[in-house]
Structure formats: C-alpha cells, structure tokens
Amino acid sequence: MTRPVILLTRPEASSRRMAGILFARCGDRAGICISPLMEIRLDPRLPSLDGIKTLIFTSANGVAAYVAAKGPMSLACYTVGEATAQAARDAGLRAISAGGNAEALIARILEDDVTGPMLHLRGTHARGEVAERLSALGCPVSQAIVYTQNAIPLSEEARDLLGGDGPVILPVFSPRSATLLGSGPVRAKLYIVAMSDAVAASLHLNVESCVIAAKPDFESVASEINLLLENQPWRRNLH
C-alpha cells in the first residue's frame, strides 16, 4: 500500500514549521508535500502610534511586519494564540496569549479590563472582526493592514497527489485556505484535519473523513494526524 502523504498548504515558513512538528510527532510514517496556497508579503508601514497603549496580533506575520517597520518594543500586546505570542516575545515584546481563537482573544482583553486605544496589526484577509467588536464594547481599537496573503496555485506535485489513488492527509487551517482548495474533482482519498468548525464548514471537497482539532493550534492538528496514522483508516477501506 502506498504510504500516506501529508499535504501542507500554509505559507512556506509556516508549513516548514508544521513539517518539523509532524516529523517529531509522527516520524517517517507519512510523506510530506509542501505546496502553499498563499504567499505572504509584508507591507510594514505603521500608522501613528501616538496614544496607542496596547497592540493586538492575530498572526506571527503581523509580528514580523511590526518588527520590519521598526515598531517600538515598549508596548505590551495580546495575541490570539501561543505561537504568535512566542513570535512576539522573540522579537522583544511583552505578549499575553489568549490561547485560542478570536472569541478567546476578545474575552481575555475584556476580562483584563484593558483600556484603549489599541492597534490591531493584521493581514488583508481577516476573520473575527476583533477591532470592530472590541470598539463596540467600549474598548477602542484601530486597525493597520501590514501584510497581504496572495493566493497562489497548488504545485504540480500537489495536484498529482490529489489526482492519484493514494491516501492524502490534508490539514486545513483557515476558511480561506479551505476556499482556495476549491471544489474540483479529487481522486485521492482525502482525510481532513480542520483547525475549527468554521474551517470544516468552508470545505467543498469530497472527503473520506474530517476531524476537528481539539485546539486551534499546530500541536493539536499534529495530534489528530498522529491518530490517523496509528489507526490507518485507508487500510480498513480496502476491505
């Protein structure tokens, strides 16, 4: 039986980090194909920070853009998850992780009774309406778009995988990634690991199975992939 392949479609740096986590967790029980669906381009131009007391980051790309723009390291920041918080700490910022999604981020900021003004540094495509919702609740938040997520096509290797007969494990991390995967015919047996219910709802592909990660982070996705490799559902489907 052909060894399953894990298809990673996040931007290059993020996919390579995920590949490292998967190798540490799963060893060589599956191949890995990296084929980003998006290319990140930083646009590190900051608005005036006069009066800004706290920053908000919902991805490590926002942190990278802030660093590239030579933003001051004296400001505290809130992040949507621990990976983004670590990127901020590595850059020299004081970071507080909400440890989850946009809902958790908003809840943590309100729980901490943070007084604005705050600045959310984000990409062109964003979900959760963090700034709008916090502002409506009395915590003023402005926004700055500091990077773009440009769509790029799957590589020939990835297209061959999806058009082949073997099992393909496909972790999907965002609704936009799910949308960019499209709805075309796929011959491969697809085993989806989705970052959230919203991601799973955005998929329009025929799949063998779809599971939701316990937490919206790389480690939880890797755990679900490890379970798939242990259970090998594609072998059962041969009978």
List pLDDT tens digits, range 90-147.
999 999 999 878 899 999 999 999 987 999 999 998 878 999 999 999 999 999 999 9
Please give the average per-residue pLDDT across 84-90, as a whole number.
Answer: 94
Residues 67, 140 share a domain: yes
**Distance from C-alpha of 183 to C-alpha of 105, rounded to nearest angstrom:** 32
Residues 179, 164 share a domain: yes
Please report, for residues 15, 36, 237, the alpha-carbon distance to residue 9 in angstroms, rounded to integers and kept in the order given. 7, 4, 26
Residues 170, 94 share a domain: no
Instruction: Write the CB contacts of 113 (distance below 8 Å, at least 6 apart in sequence).
Output: none
Residues 50, 141 share a domain: yes
Residues 177, 132 share a domain: no
Residues 191, 159 share a domain: yes
Residues 44, 33 share a domain: no
**Distance from C-alpha of 224 to C-alpha of 219, rounded to nearest angstrom:** 9
Q: Which of 149, 178, 201 is the last residue of a domain?
A: 149
Residues 142, 56 share a domain: yes
Residues 59, 91 share a domain: yes
pLDDT of amino acid 183: 75
Residues 191, 108 share a domain: no
pLDDT of amino acid 73: 94
Task: Write the DSSP string, 40-106.
Answer: EEE-------TT--EEEESSHHHHHHHHHTT--TTSEEEESSHHHHHHHHHHT-EEEE--SSHHHHH
Q: What is the pLDDT of residues 179-211, one digit of tens each?
A: 999 877 789 999 999 998 989 999 999 899 999
Residues 142, 109 share a domain: yes
Token pair in block for residue 117: 């003004």
CATH of the domain at 182: 3.40.50
pLDDT above 80: residue 232: yes
CATH of the domain at 56: 3.40.50.10090
3-state secondary structure at position 193: strand
Q: Which of 120, 149, 178 is the last residue of a domain?
A: 149
pTM of the predicted model as reported, rounded to 2 decimal places: 0.87
Query: For all residues of the chain together, what is the average pLDDT?
Result: 92
Please count the structural domains in the chain.
2
Beta pairing partners, 6:
32, 169
Where in the sequence is the domain holding 226, given as residue range(s)?
A: 5-37+153-236
Strand order in the sheet with 167-172: 31-34, 5-8, 167-172, 189-194, 209-212
Residues 228, 138 share a domain: no
